[in-house]
Amino acid sequence: MTVTPPARSPRRRVPRNTLNPDRILDAAVALLDRHGPEAFTMRALAQELGVGTMAVYSHFKGKDEIIDAVNERLLGEIELPDGSGVPREQLIELCVGMYRLFSEHPSALQLLTSRPLRGDEAIAVIDRMLCLLCAAGLDPVAAARAQVALMQYTVGAALWVVRRKRAECEEAEAGLRERIRGRLADLPSDSYPSLVRLAPELVAVQESGPAQYEAGLGAMLDGLLRA
* More confident site: 181 or 93: 93
pLDDT one-digit tens code per residue, 44-54: 999 999 999 99
pLDDT band at 30 (very low <50, low <70, confident <90, very high): very high
pLDDT at 11 over 80: no
Q: Which amino acid is at 26?
A: D
* More confident site: 35 or 87: 87
Residue 80 has a pLDDT of 92
Instruction: Tell me how far apart the alpha carbons of residues 110 and 70 are, in angstroms, rounded to a whole number.
Output: 12
Sign of CA dihedral 144, 146, 149, 154: negative
Instruction: Tell me how far apart the alpha carbons of residues 43 and 160 are, in angstroms, rounded to a whole number.
Output: 31
Q: What crossing angle do the helices spanning 21-35 and 106-114 adopt, rounded to 10°?
A: 90
**CA atoms lying within 13 Å on the CB side of residue 163:** 8
Poorest-pLDDT segment among 78-92, 146-160, 201-215: 201-215
Please name which of 27, 2, 4 lies closest in space to residue 14, comparing C-alpha atoms. 27
Instruction: Tell me how far apart the alpha carbons of residues 64 and 71 are, in angstroms, rounded to a whole number.
Output: 11
Instruction: Tell me how far apart the alpha carbons of residues 66 and 180 are, in angstroms, rounded to a whole number.
Output: 40
Please name which of 83, 73, 75 lies closest in space to residue 129, comparing C-alpha atoms. 83
Q: With contact defined as beta carbons under 8 Å apart, do 104 and 34 qualify?
A: no
What does the pLDDT average to over 95-106?
A: 91
Residue 160 has a pLDDT of 86
Q: Which amino acid is at 89?
A: E
Q: With contact defined as beta carbons under 8 Å apart, do 103 and 161 qualify?
A: yes
pLDDT at 15 over 50: yes
Percentage of the chain modeled with pLDDT above 70: 85
Q: With contact defined as beta carbons under 8 Å apart, do 49 and 19 qualify?
A: yes
Q: Output DSSP code: residue 221.
A: H
Please name which of 87, 76, 77 lies closest in space to residue 129, comparing C-alpha atoms. 87
Instruction: Tell me how far apart the alpha carbons of residues 48 and 27 are, in angstroms, rounded to a whole number.
Output: 7
Poorest-pLDDT segment among 9-18, 97-106, 146-155: 9-18
Instruction: Tell me how far apart the alpha carbons of residues 105 and 37 are, in angstroms, rounded to a whole number.
Output: 12
pLDDT one-digit tens code per residue, 54-87: 999 999 999 989 988 998 898 888 999 987 889 9
pLDDT at 1 over 50: no
